[in-house]
Amino acid sequence: MSQLRATSRAQRRAGVALALLFASAGACAGPPDALDLGAYAGKVVLLDFWASWCLPCKESFPWMQQVHNRYAQQGLVVIAVDVDHDRKPADQFLAQLQPSFPIVFDPHGNLAERFGVNGMPASFYIDRNGRIRYTHTGFHAQERDAAERELTGLLAEATFSTARKP
Amino acid sequence: MQIDAPAVAGRSRMIPRLRLFAVVGAALLLGACGLVGVKPWERDLMAKPEMLLDAAPIDSAMDDHVYFSKEAASGGKGFGGGGCGCN
Amino acid sequence: MQLKPRARRQQLALAALALFGGSAAQAQSDLPATEGNQPAVIDTGFLWYQESNNRITDAEVIVSAHQPLGGDTAWNGRLTIDAVCGGSPIGALPSKSSQSFVTPTATSLNPPVVVTQTTTSASGGGGGLGVNLCTNPVQNQKYIVAPGQLPIDQSFHDQRIALSGGYEAPIGTQSKFSAGAALSHELDFFSTSINGLLSRDFNNRNTTLAAGLNLEADKISPVGGTPVPLSPYGAFEKGGNRNKNLQDALLGVTQVVTRRWITQANVSYEHSSGYQTDPYKIVTQVDALGNDAAGMYLYESRPQTRNRLALFWDNKYAFDNDVLQASYRRTQDSWGVHTDTFEMHYRLSLGDYGYFEPHAREYRQSAADFFRFFLFQTAAQPAYVSADPRLAAFTGQTFGLKYGLALGKDGEFDVRAERYTQRGAGPANPPPGLQGLDLYPGMQAYLLQVGLRFTF
């Protein structure tokens, strides 16, 4: 029973700000890997926060792999952000699950903080204009179909001019 | 070793203990108000199986049985919470 | 009735464990996730418990299962089988002269079979650890207790089988409930109970509040019948079965304080009413000089109600690889028994070679209001009296060590050994007839447990 809600203004701003922030290189202690969402303008982004110690995250990867396989050609980008403090358990997790979508490492939680992650796992569905449209906290198998419909809905939307403000 | 039952039925020793629990209770209320705690992505250590409050339930069950049989107090122990905080 | 399964709070804890056992299952598994398939856990243990000086021997097996059912729901079940026998103190004091007693099924003071009690000394602290193989379960016999020996009924034996199960499910995203039931059957005792627990998370799951209830009904059918309380030992005034009911309520909070420290505090209250007396225990009566007249014992008598409050505070602290656990429990009840328990475990990780976990526990108990080592014949008879050493003032120390090792990705083996010692003292100023006798010998017990856990 994850929380589906239209995002607030603040979150939409965060999405845009993030792209700008990382375009200019992070100033926080311990920079995360670069995450330039601007590079994905025009695409639908499923941004997921996971950790090796989170079992529902293990369950979510096969599903994310599935939607990646199905919709990458239509413009879906799946990015999985790892918040483990150490790389080793994360590498073990990835060796087991072998995702083919990109992984970003955020060992100090800076990205998680900026997106306002309030549970694990957390995923944000970002539309072709860079706005966060859906937020999911937790992963529940019975909600996979509904989540997939949200993604296909976003994929079906056309891109508007990037000059429009959120 | 001489053990004497308290002359007064425990009330004089109850108050310092009440203070202890009041302090603990206050600390926990702080937690409920969000003043203590960790971010959801910082639950890595809490997620370890050995960090569950009842990480060895068989040991607890065996011990509870022994102490229940040999002592006049029993139970009062815990219930859960903690862990990875997922879902 | 020595080793009894009446762990009402254990039932609550089990319900709660069921509730949060999901995270135990979750955190342990390294299996690649298949869609919607969370791991099941089977947890087993075998315990050998042995008291020194030919006292109690107990063997116990527990098998527990926890299985997620999808949608964050799960069921859990536990089977416990236990066999106990050996000598349990009957409450009568050692004497300067020889004493004789009969087993519970006897109907006179002169049954056909006569044996001699075989403990080598009355002292329970540091006496020899002879393993008791329970070779003397014969009922209806008389046993002779040598001068200075603590009277112990060595014919005591019992078998128990207990089954419990529960179900847990979420309510919304922040709350959970669990419900369960349990049954336990012994030769002279039958218990049924139900329990429920409701919990809610706050503050990004840093705080959890929980409230629970446990209701239990017991039927007691003592071997040889229920003695009339305070009746003379030799009169054999026995009656039928008795009942007892218990209600437990628990309220608690768990708080993740820092990334490394989790703490929990709870308060629980238990009310029990019905037959609380131990039907096998007697009290020695002495004359003014402290000499016991032959056969002058009374059956004990305890109040029909008991109210008990417990406060419990537990902490776990995660170092990079090790874990420290420390807890304190305080109980007080309407029988005047106050207890303090301090407990600590330190898990020392050896990486791939497993872990060691030393354990220490310190327990202190005050005597029940109606506890007496003996009664003066000439004094007015009290309403309630018991000489059961478990209601005396004493301290208990436990030291133990556990070793555990992961078996592949899905299993764990562990073994632990513990020593539990009870120390106390007899009455401060015993009358001349009782001087020079060790009236509170204490007790020493060894535990050895092995366990296996599997994730599927």
- What is the rounded distance in angstroms from the CA atom of residue C14 to the CA atom of residue C99? 45
Collapse the DSSP code of C382 into the 3-class scheme (helix H, G, I; strand E, B; otherwise coil) and give the result: coil
The radius of gyration of chain B from alpha carbons, rounded to an integer in Å, stands at 18
Beta-bridge partners for C222? none
Domain borders along chain B are 13-70
Of the residues A5, A50, A55, the best mutation for testing chain C's interface (the one with the most C CB atoms within 10 Å of its CB) is A55
Question: What is the residue-wise DSSP string for C318-370?
Answer: E-SS-EEEEEEEEEEETTS-EEEEEEEEEEEE-GGG-EEEEEEEEEEEPPPTT
| Cα-based angle C129, C397, C321 (whole degrees, multiple of 5) | 105
Of the residues C44, C158, C199, C253, the best mutation for testing chain B's interface (the one with the most B CB atoms within 10 Å of its CB) is C253
Residues of B in contact with C368 (CB under 8 A): 72
Residue reference for tokens 């040999």: B70
Region class of C375: left (phi > 0), else alpha (psi between -120 and 50), else beta:
beta
- What is the rounded distance in angstroms from the CA atom of residue A7 to the CA atom of residue A14? 11
Q: Are residues B65 and C5 in contact, defined by beta-carbon separation less than 8 angstroms?
A: yes
Q: Are residues C393 and B5 in contact, defined by beta-carbon separation less than 8 angstroms?
A: yes
| Cα-based angle C32, B55, B31 (whole degrees, multiple of 5) | 100
Q: How far is B40 from chain A (nearest CA, A)?
A: 5
Q: Are residues A15 and A47 in contact, defined by beta-carbon separation less than 8 angstroms?
A: no
Residues of A in contact with C71 (CB under 8 A): 140-142
Residue B64 pLDDT exceeds 70: yes
pLDDT tens-digit series, residues C180-206: 999 999 999 999 999 999 999 999 999
Residue A165: predicted pLDDT: 55
Spell out the residues 6+ positions from residue A94 whose beta carbon is closer than 8 angstroms to its own: A103
Q: Are residues C298 and C282 in contact, defined by beta-carbon separation less than 8 angstroms?
A: yes
Pairs across A and C, CB distance < 8 A: 40
Helix (H) or strand (E) holding C47: strand C41-51
Please, what is the average pLDDT of chain C? 88
Residue C398: predicted pLDDT: 98
The fourth-level CATH superfamily of domain A9-23+40-155 is Glutaredoxin (3.40.30.10)
Most distant CA pair in chain C, distance: 79
Spell out the residues 6+ positions from residue C251 whose beta carbon is closer than 8 angstroms to its own: C210, C211, C266, C267, C268
Beta strands, E only, A72-148: 76-82, 103-105, 122-126, 132-137
Residue A23: predicted pLDDT: 45
Residue B83: predicted pLDDT: 85
Residue C99 pLDDT exceeds 70: yes
Residue C363: predicted pLDDT: 98
Q: Are residues A60 and A2 in contact, defined by beta-carbon separation less than 8 angstroms?
A: no
Q: Are residues C170 and B86 in contact, defined by beta-carbon separation less than 8 angstroms?
A: no
Chain B: touching chains (3 or more CB pairs < 8 Å): A, C
pLDDT tens-digit series, residues C274-313: 999 999 999 999 988 888 776 689 999 999 999 999 999 9
Residues of A in contact with B85 (CB under 8 A): 119-120
Pairs across A and B, CB distance < 8 A: 49
Q: What confidence tier does C48 reach under pLDDT thresholds 50, 70, 90?
A: very high
Spell out the residues 6+ positions from residue A1 whose beta carbon is closer than 8 angstroms to its own: A138, A140, A143, C170, C172, C173
Residue C347: predicted pLDDT: 98
Q: Rounded to two decimals, what is the model's pTM?
A: 0.84
Residues of C in contact with A97 (CB under 8 A): 32-33
Residue C45: predicted pLDDT: 98
Residues of C in contact with A142 (CB under 8 A): 70-71
Beta-bridge partners for C385? C301
Of the residues B38, B52, B65, the best mutation for testing chain C's interface (the one with the most C CB atoms within 10 Å of its CB) is B65
Spell out the residues 6+ positions from residue C367 whose beta carbon is closer than 8 angstroms to its own: B5, C336, C337, C391, C392, C393
C173 and A97: CB-CB below 8 Å? no
Question: Which pair of tokens denotes residue C93?
Answer: 């004091």
C395 and B10: CB-CB below 8 Å? no
A58 and C33: CB-CB below 8 Å? yes
| Cα-based angle C197, C181, C174 (whole degrees, multiple of 5) | 25
Question: Which pair of tokens denotes residue C244?
Answer: 């007892």
Instruction: Indicate the residue of A61, A137, A138 with minimum beta-carbon distance to C33.
Output: A61
Residue A34: predicted pLDDT: 66
Q: Please tell me if residue B14 touches chain C, with a CB cutoff of 8 Å.
A: yes
A112 and B86: CB-CB below 8 Å? no
Compute CA distances C347 → A64, A72, C256, C313, C357, whole Å: 37, 47, 19, 19, 4
Q: How far is B35 from chain A (nearest CA, A)?
A: 15
Instruction: With a threshold of 0.95, tell me whether the complex ipTM lies above it.
Output: no
How many CA atoms does the CB half-sphere of C427 hold within 13 Å? 16
Residue C402 pLDDT exceeds 90: yes
Residue B80: predicted pLDDT: 67
pLDDT tens-digit series, residues B41-54: 999 999 999 999 99
Residues of A in contact with B87 (CB under 8 A): 56, 119, 138-140
Question: Which pair of tokens denotes residue B60?
Answer: 């607890």
- What is the rounded distance in angstroms from the CA atom of residue C181 to the CA atom of residue C197? 12
Compute CA distances B23 → B35, C75, C207, C250, C324, whole Å: 15, 37, 16, 19, 21
Phi, psi of A96 (to 5 degrees): -75, -45
- What is the rounded distance in angstroms from the CA atom of residue A12 to the CA atom of residue A160? 16
Q: What confidence tier does A31 reach under pLDDT thresholds 50, 70, 90?
A: low
Q: Which CATH number fits domain C8-40+170-455: 2.40.160, 2.60.40, 1.20.120, 1.10.3470?
A: 2.40.160
Domain borders along chain A are 9-23+40-155
